[in-house]
Amino acid sequence: MGRCTLRGAITALVTPFTSDGRLDEPALRALVAWQVEQGIDGVVPVGSTGEAATLSLAERERVVAIAAEVVAGRVPVIAGAGSNDTAAALENSRVLAGAGATHLLHVSPMYSKPPQRGLVAHFRAVADAATIPVVLYNVPGRTASNMEVETQLALAEHPNIVATKEASGNIEQIGEIIRRRPAGFAVLSGDDGLTADVMARGGDGVISVASNAVPAAMHALTAAAARGDLAAARALHDTLAPLFNAAFVESNPIPIKAALTLMGRIGNVLRLPLVPLDARHEDAVRRALASAGVVLA
Protein backbone atom coordinates (compact mmCIF):
# COMPACT_ATOMS: atom_id res chain seq x y z
CA MET A 1 0.00 0.00 0.00
CA GLY A 2 2.97 2.31 0.50
CA ARG A 3 3.37 5.53 2.42
CA CYS A 4 0.88 8.36 2.11
CA THR A 5 2.05 11.35 4.13
CA LEU A 6 -0.66 13.29 5.92
CA ARG A 7 -0.06 16.96 6.57
CA GLY A 8 -1.57 20.32 7.46
CA ALA A 9 -4.70 21.02 9.48
CA ILE A 10 -7.04 18.04 9.77
CA THR A 11 -10.34 18.50 11.59
CA ALA A 12 -11.48 16.05 14.25
CA LEU A 13 -15.14 16.47 13.31
CA VAL A 14 -17.98 16.78 15.78
CA THR A 15 -21.04 14.67 15.11
CA PRO A 16 -24.17 16.86 14.92
CA PHE A 17 -27.36 15.47 16.47
CA THR A 18 -30.99 16.50 16.15
CA SER A 19 -32.93 17.63 19.22
CA ASP A 20 -34.13 14.05 19.76
CA GLY A 21 -30.60 12.63 19.58
CA ARG A 22 -30.49 11.22 16.04
CA LEU A 23 -27.74 11.95 13.52
CA ASP A 24 -28.31 15.37 11.98
CA GLU A 25 -27.30 14.47 8.45
CA PRO A 26 -27.97 17.88 6.83
CA ALA A 27 -25.88 19.64 9.49
CA LEU A 28 -23.08 17.10 9.05
CA ARG A 29 -23.09 17.54 5.28
CA ALA A 30 -23.00 21.31 5.62
CA LEU A 31 -20.19 21.20 8.19
CA VAL A 32 -18.00 18.93 6.07
CA ALA A 33 -18.65 20.99 2.92
CA TRP A 34 -17.73 24.20 4.76
CA GLN A 35 -14.55 22.64 6.13
CA VAL A 36 -13.37 21.72 2.64
CA GLU A 37 -14.38 25.11 1.22
CA GLN A 38 -12.33 26.79 3.94
CA GLY A 39 -9.20 24.90 2.89
CA ILE A 40 -8.95 22.20 5.53
CA ASP A 41 -6.42 19.46 4.72
CA GLY A 42 -8.41 16.46 5.95
CA VAL A 43 -11.26 15.35 8.20
CA VAL A 44 -11.53 12.79 10.99
CA PRO A 45 -15.10 11.59 11.44
CA VAL A 46 -16.15 9.42 14.42
CA GLY A 47 -13.14 10.04 16.60
CA SER A 48 -13.37 11.06 20.25
CA THR A 49 -14.46 14.57 19.20
CA GLY A 50 -17.18 12.88 17.15
CA GLU A 51 -18.54 11.06 20.23
CA ALA A 52 -17.75 7.69 18.68
CA ALA A 53 -18.14 6.00 22.05
CA THR A 54 -21.90 6.63 21.96
CA LEU A 55 -22.42 5.85 18.26
CA SER A 56 -23.39 2.40 17.05
CA LEU A 57 -21.20 0.89 14.35
CA ALA A 58 -24.04 1.44 11.88
CA GLU A 59 -24.12 5.13 12.83
CA ARG A 60 -20.36 5.43 12.51
CA GLU A 61 -20.57 3.80 9.10
CA ARG A 62 -23.20 6.35 8.06
CA VAL A 63 -21.20 9.33 9.31
CA VAL A 64 -18.10 8.16 7.43
CA ALA A 65 -20.11 7.52 4.27
CA ILE A 66 -21.54 11.05 4.39
CA ALA A 67 -18.13 12.60 5.00
CA ALA A 68 -16.59 10.64 2.14
CA GLU A 69 -19.44 11.56 -0.20
CA VAL A 70 -19.17 15.28 0.57
CA VAL A 71 -15.37 15.32 0.46
CA ALA A 72 -15.46 13.52 -2.90
CA GLY A 73 -11.78 12.72 -2.89
CA ARG A 74 -10.57 16.27 -2.26
CA VAL A 75 -8.98 15.57 1.14
CA PRO A 76 -8.30 12.47 3.26
CA VAL A 77 -11.09 10.99 5.39
CA ILE A 78 -9.46 9.41 8.45
CA ALA A 79 -12.11 7.39 10.27
CA GLY A 80 -11.88 6.71 13.98
CA ALA A 81 -11.89 2.92 14.22
CA GLY A 82 -10.24 2.21 17.56
CA SER A 83 -11.31 -0.17 20.30
CA ASN A 84 -9.78 -1.83 23.35
CA ASP A 85 -10.97 -5.10 21.84
CA THR A 86 -8.67 -6.01 18.97
CA ALA A 87 -11.34 -8.12 17.27
CA ALA A 88 -13.74 -5.16 17.38
CA ALA A 89 -11.02 -2.87 16.03
CA LEU A 90 -10.60 -5.20 13.06
CA GLU A 91 -14.35 -5.20 12.40
CA ASN A 92 -14.52 -1.40 12.73
CA SER A 93 -11.70 -1.12 10.20
CA ARG A 94 -13.47 -3.36 7.72
CA VAL A 95 -16.78 -1.51 7.96
CA LEU A 96 -15.38 2.02 7.89
CA ALA A 97 -13.01 1.29 5.01
CA GLY A 98 -16.04 0.00 3.13
CA ALA A 99 -17.89 3.24 3.92
CA GLY A 100 -15.30 5.29 2.05
CA ALA A 101 -12.58 6.18 4.56
CA THR A 102 -9.12 6.73 3.09
CA HIS A 103 -7.32 6.09 6.41
CA LEU A 104 -8.13 4.60 9.82
CA LEU A 105 -7.33 6.29 13.13
CA HIS A 106 -6.71 3.72 15.86
CA VAL A 107 -6.44 4.92 19.43
CA SER A 108 -4.27 3.07 21.92
CA PRO A 109 -6.58 0.62 23.72
CA MET A 110 -8.24 2.36 26.65
CA TYR A 111 -9.12 0.85 30.03
CA SER A 112 -7.37 -2.45 29.31
CA LYS A 113 -3.96 -0.75 29.70
CA PRO A 114 -1.92 -3.38 27.83
CA PRO A 115 1.87 -3.36 28.27
CA GLN A 116 3.94 -1.91 25.43
CA ARG A 117 4.37 -5.34 23.82
CA GLY A 118 0.58 -5.68 23.88
CA LEU A 119 0.25 -2.35 22.10
CA VAL A 120 2.68 -3.53 19.43
CA ALA A 121 0.75 -6.78 18.96
CA HIS A 122 -2.59 -4.94 18.82
CA PHE A 123 -1.53 -2.37 16.24
CA ARG A 124 0.30 -4.90 14.09
CA ALA A 125 -2.83 -7.04 13.99
CA VAL A 126 -4.87 -4.01 12.99
CA ALA A 127 -2.40 -2.90 10.32
CA ASP A 128 -1.98 -6.41 8.91
CA ALA A 129 -5.73 -6.73 8.39
CA ALA A 130 -6.55 -3.20 7.24
CA THR A 131 -7.04 -2.53 3.55
CA ILE A 132 -6.24 1.19 3.92
CA PRO A 133 -3.46 2.99 5.85
CA VAL A 134 -3.51 3.21 9.64
CA VAL A 135 -2.77 6.21 11.88
CA LEU A 136 -1.73 5.63 15.50
CA TYR A 137 -3.35 7.76 18.20
CA ASN A 138 -1.56 8.26 21.51
CA VAL A 139 -3.72 10.09 24.06
CA PRO A 140 -2.77 9.06 27.61
CA GLY A 141 -5.32 11.44 29.13
CA ARG A 142 -8.11 9.26 27.74
CA THR A 143 -6.49 5.82 27.63
CA ALA A 144 -4.55 5.92 30.94
CA SER A 145 -1.38 4.63 29.24
CA ASN A 146 1.33 6.22 27.14
CA MET A 147 2.48 4.70 23.86
CA GLU A 148 6.21 5.07 24.34
CA VAL A 149 8.71 6.33 21.78
CA GLU A 150 10.23 2.91 21.07
CA THR A 151 6.76 1.41 20.63
CA GLN A 152 5.70 4.04 18.13
CA LEU A 153 8.97 3.79 16.22
CA ALA A 154 8.67 -0.01 16.03
CA LEU A 155 5.15 0.35 14.67
CA ALA A 156 6.26 3.06 12.24
CA GLU A 157 8.28 0.40 10.41
CA HIS A 158 5.06 -1.41 9.44
CA PRO A 159 4.33 -0.52 5.79
CA ASN A 160 0.64 0.09 6.51
CA ILE A 161 1.14 2.39 9.54
CA VAL A 162 1.72 5.81 8.05
CA ALA A 163 1.36 8.38 10.85
CA THR A 164 0.85 9.08 14.51
CA LYS A 165 -1.49 11.53 16.19
CA GLU A 166 0.54 12.44 19.25
CA ALA A 167 -1.54 13.86 22.11
CA SER A 168 0.74 12.94 24.98
CA GLY A 169 1.48 16.62 25.57
CA ASN A 170 5.15 15.65 25.96
CA ILE A 171 7.01 17.79 23.45
CA GLU A 172 10.30 15.99 24.10
CA GLN A 173 8.68 12.61 23.33
CA ILE A 174 7.12 14.02 20.17
CA GLY A 175 10.41 15.56 19.12
CA GLU A 176 12.24 12.26 19.53
CA ILE A 177 9.69 10.47 17.36
CA ILE A 178 10.12 13.17 14.70
CA ARG A 179 13.92 12.85 14.79
CA ARG A 180 13.95 9.06 14.56
CA ARG A 181 10.94 8.22 12.40
CA PRO A 182 11.32 6.42 9.07
CA ALA A 183 10.85 8.31 5.82
CA GLY A 184 7.21 8.97 4.94
CA PHE A 185 5.89 8.52 8.49
CA ALA A 186 3.90 11.62 9.49
CA VAL A 187 3.84 13.06 13.01
CA LEU A 188 0.69 15.06 13.73
CA SER A 189 0.06 17.06 16.87
CA GLY A 190 -2.98 15.93 18.82
CA ASP A 191 -3.09 19.23 20.72
CA ASP A 192 -3.98 22.49 19.00
CA GLY A 193 -1.83 24.49 21.38
CA LEU A 194 1.31 22.50 20.53
CA THR A 195 0.90 22.64 16.75
CA ALA A 196 3.41 25.42 16.11
CA ASP A 197 5.99 23.82 18.42
CA VAL A 198 5.53 20.34 16.92
CA MET A 199 5.90 21.69 13.38
CA ALA A 200 8.91 23.79 14.36
CA ARG A 201 10.56 20.49 15.33
CA GLY A 202 9.71 18.99 11.93
CA GLY A 203 6.19 17.66 12.52
CA ASP A 204 3.67 17.57 9.71
CA GLY A 205 0.50 19.17 11.09
CA VAL A 206 -2.33 18.69 13.54
CA ILE A 207 -5.54 16.77 14.03
CA SER A 208 -7.46 19.69 15.42
CA VAL A 209 -10.51 20.29 17.59
CA ALA A 210 -10.47 24.08 17.15
CA SER A 211 -10.59 23.82 13.36
CA ASN A 212 -14.23 22.76 13.63
CA ALA A 213 -14.81 26.49 14.20
CA VAL A 214 -11.76 28.04 12.49
CA PRO A 215 -10.68 25.77 9.62
CA ALA A 216 -9.17 28.53 7.46
CA ALA A 217 -7.10 29.91 10.33
CA MET A 218 -5.79 26.48 11.32
CA HIS A 219 -4.90 25.75 7.70
CA ALA A 220 -3.05 29.07 7.54
CA LEU A 221 -1.16 28.29 10.75
CA THR A 222 0.05 24.91 9.51
CA ALA A 223 0.84 26.25 6.05
CA ALA A 224 2.98 29.01 7.57
CA ALA A 225 4.83 26.51 9.73
CA ALA A 226 5.32 24.14 6.79
CA ARG A 227 6.98 26.84 4.70
CA GLY A 228 9.25 27.78 7.60
CA ASP A 229 7.55 31.06 8.49
CA LEU A 230 7.48 30.35 12.20
CA ALA A 231 6.85 34.00 13.07
CA ALA A 232 3.59 33.93 11.12
CA ALA A 233 2.66 30.57 12.62
CA ARG A 234 3.25 31.83 16.14
CA ALA A 235 1.29 35.02 15.46
CA LEU A 236 -1.66 32.89 14.36
CA HIS A 237 -1.18 30.68 17.40
CA ASP A 238 -1.37 33.72 19.67
CA THR A 239 -4.60 34.85 18.00
CA LEU A 240 -6.15 31.40 18.36
CA ALA A 241 -4.77 30.53 21.80
CA PRO A 242 -7.92 31.69 23.66
CA LEU A 243 -9.97 29.30 21.51
CA PHE A 244 -7.48 26.47 22.05
CA ASN A 245 -7.94 26.97 25.79
CA ALA A 246 -11.70 27.47 25.70
CA ALA A 247 -12.15 24.26 23.70
CA PHE A 248 -11.11 22.32 26.81
CA VAL A 249 -12.78 24.20 29.67
CA GLU A 250 -14.88 21.03 29.90
CA SER A 251 -14.42 17.63 28.29
CA ASN A 252 -14.10 17.70 24.50
CA PRO A 253 -16.37 18.04 22.48
CA ILE A 254 -18.64 19.91 24.91
CA PRO A 255 -17.07 23.38 24.36
CA ILE A 256 -16.53 23.11 20.61
CA LYS A 257 -20.14 22.03 20.13
CA ALA A 258 -21.19 25.10 22.10
CA ALA A 259 -18.98 27.22 19.83
CA LEU A 260 -20.48 25.76 16.67
CA THR A 261 -23.94 26.40 18.10
CA LEU A 262 -23.05 30.05 18.68
CA MET A 263 -21.96 30.13 15.03
CA GLY A 264 -25.31 28.69 13.93
CA ARG A 265 -23.78 25.58 12.37
CA ILE A 266 -25.20 22.81 14.60
CA GLY A 267 -27.57 22.32 17.49
CA ASN A 268 -26.02 22.05 20.94
CA VAL A 269 -26.94 18.39 21.46
CA LEU A 270 -24.67 15.71 22.94
CA ARG A 271 -25.27 12.13 23.95
CA LEU A 272 -25.10 11.11 27.59
CA PRO A 273 -22.94 10.93 29.57
CA LEU A 274 -21.79 14.16 27.89
CA VAL A 275 -23.95 17.21 28.54
CA PRO A 276 -24.06 20.76 27.12
CA LEU A 277 -21.54 23.34 28.30
CA ASP A 278 -21.98 24.73 31.80
CA ALA A 279 -23.44 28.24 31.53
CA ARG A 280 -20.52 29.71 33.50
CA HIS A 281 -18.17 28.88 30.59
CA GLU A 282 -20.30 30.35 27.80
CA ASP A 283 -18.74 33.82 27.97
CA ALA A 284 -15.23 32.35 27.71
CA VAL A 285 -16.19 30.46 24.55
CA ARG A 286 -17.91 33.51 23.10
CA ARG A 287 -14.90 35.74 23.83
CA ALA A 288 -12.51 33.17 22.37
CA LEU A 289 -14.46 33.03 19.13
CA ALA A 290 -14.51 36.82 18.94
CA SER A 291 -10.74 37.00 19.48
CA ALA A 292 -10.33 34.54 16.61
CA GLY A 293 -12.40 36.81 14.35
CA VAL A 294 -15.41 34.49 14.16
CA VAL A 295 -18.73 36.13 13.36
CA LEU A 296 -21.48 34.67 15.54
CA ALA A 297 -24.97 33.86 14.35
Looking up residue 183, the CATH number of its domain turns out to be 3.20.20.70
Distances (CA, A) of 176 to 91, 147, 149, 201, 264: 33, 13, 7, 9, 41
Question: What domain count does the chain have?
Answer: 1
pLDDT in tens, 61-72: 999 999 999 999
Q: Would you state the pLDDT for residue 128?
A: 98
CA distance 70 to 295: 24
Rounded Cα distance between 247 and 241, Å, is 10
Omega cis (within 30) before 242: no
Q: Are 103 and 78 in contact (CB under 8 A)?
A: yes
Each residue's pLDDT tens digit, 158-171 = 999 999 999 999 99
pLDDT digits (tens, 9 = 90+) for 180-198: 999 999 999 999 999 999 9
Q: Is residue 173 part of a domain?
A: yes
Would you say residue 277 lies in a domain? no
Q: Which domain holds residue 21?
A: 8-230
User: Could you confirm whether 165 is annotated as catalytic?
Assistant: yes
Name the amino acid, one letter, at 99: A
- Judge whether 122 lies within some domain: yes
Question: Quick check: is 131 in a domain?
Answer: yes
Over residues 203-227, mean pLDDT = 98
137 catalytic residue (yes or no)? yes
Distance CA 83, CA 48 (A): 11
Q: Which of 111, 113, 137, 257 is catalytic?
A: 137
pLDDT digits (tens, 9 = 90+) for 245-289: 999 999 999 999 999 999 999 999 999 999 999 999 999 999 999
